[in-house]
Amino acid sequence: MTSAAGRSSGLAQALALALAVGPWAPMPLLAQVRQELDVRIPMRDGVELSADVWMPMAPGRYPVILVRTPYLEPNEGWAATAARYAARGYVFVIQDARGRGDSDGTFDFFFADAADGYDTVEWLAPQPWSNGRVGMMGGSYRATVQWLAARERASHLVCMAPQAPAGRYFDELPYIGGAFMMQWALNWINGTSARISQNPNLDGTDWERVFQHRPLLTMDEAMGRRMPLYRDFLTHSTRDAYWDRILFTADDFRKIDVTALTVTGWFDADQPGAIFYWEGMRKYSPARDRQYFISGPWTHGGTRSGGSLSIGELRFSPESVVDMDGLLFRFFESCLKGNPPTFEFPRARVYVSGSNVWRDLDDYPPPQMEYRKLHLHSGGAANTLAGDGRLSWQAPGDEQPDRYMYDPRHPVPSGVGLDGQAGEDQRAVERRDDVLVYSSDVLDEPLEMIGRVFVVVHAASDARDTDFTAKIMDVHPDGRALRLGPKDAGVVRGRYRNGYDREELLRPNEPAQFKIELFDMAHTFLPGHRVRIEVSSSAHPFINPNQNTGNPVATDTEWRVARQTVYHDAQRASHVLLPVMPRN
């Protein structure tokens, strides 16, 4: 077990790391830092949570930065970060989430984190080493808990820097478009099923055997561990009171008066949540003019590291890599110490891949962006890369639909991991008969998009329930089709096409509209390149293959093949909605 003392790795090691050459140099005397481990903080229900605290050696009252985490990997580097901040006049607190590490209680996803975050902030503020001004930082889970504490209106929470927070629970995790994120749920819930990380226990797991198990409800046992949280997620498959505890409303945002620096990435799987909070604050919050936004060509991990020069086969400029530690330090210097009084940063800063440039915007999405429809066309044979599928700005006339067979026992493969296959060549997948491929003509001028991308598919199935999926690719002159966006695929599960609060099964062979969200992107398709869209019905194991029966998903053990039809005619014009920027 990694104890609080073990996580600190020793003050000497942390201070040595903090002295490293980089944005933090030159440094004050780091010997003037002290730490307190396993500080017990009481919650309102009597449970005590454990925190490690770093602070300046000199007596005084200092601003506090709080990180709340369920993750206990010893290589996270938080001790070094804490020492750096303490050496510069902050108290830095790292707290184990309820039921994790040295904290008492039972871990239960985000459901206790609103109250626990509030109680922790309000406990920290009156401590003898605190000046009552508290900020929060951290990425992923550590980012979401910042928003939950802010929603509770913790009075001493002044500012926060959420990097890649989750927040759209039927469009991000554990569902996307209503489809269950099977691979993520098994891995992540297993990893947090005890007080220390359980991830190493899955080394050598026969995942294909596990993924073929039905019903989904007992797939956790097929993996080797019965997990109540996994089963809760599956049995609460519509938006209900279970999820409403952590879903934000407009009224929630109206009550949050906190300065925030939102960090996300165009290839970050939790980007939907980050932008959801950003847009809610900009639209409703009294702190709307104290919100800042940055998004680079970053994966989930890149939102914390500052990125790299490539993702898959996509290449970026050296300027794409950001000194994230330095950016966050400047933010907290401004909002917690008033140095300077206003954070010197644009309202929104985004990196546009393809053209590989940063753009500073007055808002995000940019007001000058305009949606344009890029229409799907074919002669009825868009199947595979060798088919006749086309994309054009011209609306379709009288055209034959495209058809394919979707067999859930032989689904289209997806990427692996939280960030999937961003930047990887999709041509192998595009050779399948159950993948429709639509490509634009070769571009003779740049096509820049900044904003949210949708694929609107008019389709029918002979099944009572099925999925429709979509991807967008930048096709390079050498033929490589490199996937863009934060998810392996966008998807709409048929029974949720009209909302997540109810299930409405399909009427077999009756056309319906499926608006598939591909989430936010900032990318330039360069001259000589093409835009490409894939339409299909699966992305395994990213989502569980829809078994096409219409039965309850959690307990279904039947399988059937579905016959799918995609329309693109004058009455049912399937299209891509591209957020196009005007040319200067």
The set of residues, in sequence order, having a beta carbon less than 8 Å from that of 275 and lying 6+ positions away, is 262, 264, 364, 519, 520
More confident residue, 346 or 418: 346
Q: Which of 141, 414, 318 is nearest to 149 (CA)?
A: 141
- For residues 180-190, average pLDDT: 96
DSSP conformational letter for 501? T
Compute the residue count for the chain. Answer: 584
* Four-point Cα dihedral 538, 539, 542, 544, nearest 10: 20
Mean pLDDT of 459-476: 98
d(CA 465, CA 469): 14
Q: What is the mean pLDDT of residues 257-274?
A: 97
Residue 286 pLDDT greater than 60, yes or no: yes
What confidence tens digit (pLDDT) does each residue in 412-444 have? 999 754 455 689 999 999 999 999 999 999 999
DSSP 8-state symbol, 200: G
Closest CA to 582 of 445, 392, 448: 448
- CA–CA gap between residue 547 and residue 238 (Å, rounded): 18
Buried residues in 22-35 as b, exposed as e (16+ CB within 10 A): eebeeeeebeebeb
Q: In this structure, what is the dihedral angle of CA atoms 566, 570, 576, 577, given to the nearest 10 degrees?
A: -140
pLDDT at 584: 74
Q: Please give the average per-residue pLDDT across 196-218, as a whole number.
A: 94
pLDDT tens per residue across span 490-510? 999 999 999 999 999 999 999
Q: What is the residue-wise DSSP string for 377-421?
A: E-SS--BSTTS--EEESSPP-S-PPEEEEE-TTSPPB---STTTT
Instruction: Check whether 394 has a pLDDT greater than 90.
Output: yes
Of the candidates 85, 20, 26, which has an alpha carbon nearest to the alpha carbon of residue 52?
85
Taking the C-alpha atoms of residue 292 and residue 278, their distance in angstroms, rounded to an integer, is 8
Strand, coil or helix: 95: strand
Closest CA to 463 of 511, 502, 512, 507: 507
204 dihedral zone (left: phi>0; alpha: psi -120 to 50; beta) = left
Asked if the bond preceding 366 is cis, omega within 30° of 0, the reply is no
Both structure tokens of 36 = 């307190």
3-58, pLDDT tens digit by residue?
443 443 344 444 444 433 344 544 545 568 999 999 999 999 999 999 999 999 99
Q: What is the predicted pLDDT for the residue at 24?
A: 52
Structure tokens at 96: 């184990």
Q: What is the pLDDT of residues 100-130, one digit of tens each?
A: 999 999 999 999 999 999 999 999 999 999 9
Query: Of 75-79, 215-219, 259-263, 300-304, where does mean pLDDT reach its minimum?
Result: 75-79
End-to-end alpha-carbon separation of the chain, Å? 58
CB 504 within 8 A of CB 497: yes
Question: From the CB of residue 243, how many other CB atoms can be counted at a distance below 10 Å?
Answer: 17
Pairing of strands 436-439, 530-536: antiparallel
Residue 7: what pLDDT? Answer: 42
The CA dihedral of 84, 85, 90, 91, to the nearest 10 degrees, is -80
C-alpha distances in Å from residue 60, one per residue of 84, 430, 499:
18, 63, 54
Binning pLDDT at 50, 70 and 90, where does residue 461 land?
very high
Per DSSP, the three-state class of 512 is strand
Backbone angles phi, psi at 14, to 5 degrees: -60, -40
- Indicate if the alpha-carbon torsion angle 237, 239, 240, 243 is positive or negative: positive
Question: How distant, in Å, are the alpha carbons of 8, 44, 391 from that of 48?
Answer: 20, 9, 58
- Provide, rounded to the nearest whole percent, the portion of the chain with pLDDT above 90: 90
pLDDT at res. 13: 43
Does residue 361 surpass a pLDDT of 80? yes
How confident is the prediction for the chain on average, in pLDDT?
Answer: 93
Among 171, 108, 141, 168, smallest CA distance to 543 is for 171
pTM of the model: 0.94
Averaged pLDDT for residues 182-196: 95
Cα–Cα dist 35/92, whole Å: 9
Question: What are the backbone angles phi and psi of residue 344, rounded to the nearest 5°?
Answer: -85, 90
What was the pLDDT predicted at 496? Answer: 98
